[in-house]
Amino acid sequence: MSEVLVTGGSGYIGSWCVLALLANGHTVRTTVRDLKKEPAVRAMLRAGGASEDAKLTVCQADLQQDAGWREAVEGCDYVLHVASPTLTSLPKNDDEMVVPARDGVLRVLRAAREAGVKRVVLTSAFGAVGMGHPERSRVFTEADWSNVDAGIPPYQKSKTLSEKAAWDFVAQHGGIELAVVNPVGVFGPVLGSDYSPSLGLVQRMLDGDLPALPKFAMGYVDVRDVADLHLRAMTDPAAAGERFLAISGHSLWVREIAAILRDRLGDRASKVPTRELPLWTARALARVNPGLRLLRPQLGRNFDATSEKAQRMLGWSPRPIEDTIADTAESLLTLKGMTT
């Protein structure tokens, strides 16, 4: 089996990628910005069912610094670059998010190329595919790119420009293969308190923090299936030089997610709202409500996509999204019970 570096092993997708690699017999290294996080990383892996983590090494490396990356990638066959800089509040300007993301990708690619790594799998996002287009509804494919000149949010802009920088690097320098995974909204079981922001929507519905449901639709995918797609993109010869959208089925309106929660959880979903917020009201509230302000570009729109390419080329088969939503809710309720 291979030795694989996963950047950002303390993150939601990163931790599930580590679990999938260990389950498939690989030797794994993962990076954290602070080695004090190592016990938390190992605790999450045990929560995910890892019976043996002796084949895991945790090392320190920061995407915004050169130190540590040469040592992290030395001797590795593959790299899953999952980590991406995050901010706790809206940036004052886009470069606060764009520059660290782009520079981090290039830092990892340079180190991997110099170390003789065969292939890097980059975790990008649907945000690099479907944002900034005028259509109210369409099905996006890997041929699409977000329009960074259309005033898209900083996170999606950072994902677009960092992915483009990765493709440009490989085209210019060669010597390493690149494959990219572009997940839509990521749901699924949580291993700890550090999980995908997408799950905040489900948590708020369960807690009754949403008086009404915002009107927008987008795709969702299970984090376990995202990890599986990373492993397929890592080893399948056909994946080199390709990007792969990861979506389970088709897009869902928020009201459809709410209906699934009520159907699967019964009384435990009693706080999940049933009323959809009128679009004009949501747009007015978005001017003053920070949560809705982040959703303003999505209100009234249907961001759909297809994973036909991943299924056809790599044999990827995501689980039904209804099962994922139920597993997400069950996991969040369990986590809340453990922390209260």
- Which residues are catalytic, by number? 159
Query: Could you tell me the two tokens for 80?
Result: 């899953």
Tokens matching residue 161:
């420009």
182: phi > 0 → left, psi -120 to 50 → alpha, else beta; which? beta
* b/e burial code for range 164-187 (CB count within 10 A of at least 16 → b): bbbeebbeeeeebbbbbbbbbbbb
Retrieve residue 269's tokens.
Answer: 């979903």
Closest to 163 in 3D by CA, of 112, 129, 113: 129
Q: Looking at this protein, which amino acid is placed at residue 260? A: I
Give the bridge partners for 185, in sequence order: 220
Sign of the dihedral defined by the CA atoms of residues 318, 20, 9, 119, in that order: negative
If we measure between CA atoms, which residue out of 197, 178, 188, 200 comes closest to residue 227?
188
- Name the β-bridge partners of 86: none
Residue 120 per-residue DSSP state: E
Q: Residue 19, exposed/middle/buried by CB under 10 A (0-12, 13-18, 19+)?
A: buried
What backbone torsions phi and psi does residue 186 show, to the nearest 5 degrees? -100, 120
CB 97 within 8 A of CB 87: yes
Span between the terminal Cα atoms of the chain, in Å: 42
CA gap 124, 180 in Å, rounded: 6
Residue whose structure tokens are 């690149």: 178
